[in-house]
Structure 1
Amino acid sequence: MVKKHRTAFHAKEWAIDLYEAATIEEIQQVEKELQIVLPKVYKEFLSVSNGMHGNLAQLYSTDGLIEMNKTYEVQRYAPGYVSVGNDNGGYHLLMRAVENAVNFQLVSDGYCVPTENDITDNFLSWLDSDEGDPWRNE
């Protein structure tokens, strides 16, 4: 269960709710259940806030990572990727399921296979953006 609280983790205008940090065991459980490696930058995010709900985006908690990746069969339709969030409106935020991944792609729910035409951005730069719109490149 994710416990709500506010924190100062790069919380810009668009960040609404951040949560207590995930434990190492919870993060390891995601990798075990999904049989993937989470990107280091996402693990670091989870170690500060176990998920985030914003007005224009949601970043998944450890439980959400398992649920959403299984529900949308991300590893089947986009092997080698993990969905770490969504835009609350039909797009997934996919990252390569490798430790050194730093970029994400914004991919439609209906297609889920990343293409060169998808919006791509650096996860940490996006998270630290003060522009108010996490999909500023769209």
Structure 2
Amino acid sequence: MTFERDPLAGVHPLVLAAKPLVDAVGAAFINVDHAEPSDVPLVWEGVTVAAVRLPPLHGALDRLIDSVETELGDTLPMLSREGKQRAIRILDERGAFILRRAVEDVADAMGVSRITVYNYLNAIHR
């Protein structure tokens, strides 16, 4: 008789608790022995149990778009006008438009013109 081992058995509770957040931002857990100074240590009762390596900035807009599509339940091009406006609001709240070429890239991903994205942003900031 073969018993399958639980892949999460022995994983520290702090790592389990942080996993949804780490996954959502596209980060990764790193073993303490392989942590670099730029990694964020996860400390439990004074002991570092793991580290989190933040994702590179490259690909950040794609990750933001993916998270908005998941949140809204459809791809950007398939959203209604109101859905697209909501997507722009969420992306703006999450800082997407501080990235270079973000308006152009979001417009392309959404299937609308840059002017449309700028109009949605102007409506938000009025």
TM (norm. structure 2) is 0.24
Bigger share in strand:
1
TM (norm. structure 1) is 0.23
Which protein has greater RCO, CA pairs closer than 8 Å, 6+ apart? 1
Structure showing greater Rg = 2
Bigger share in helix:
2
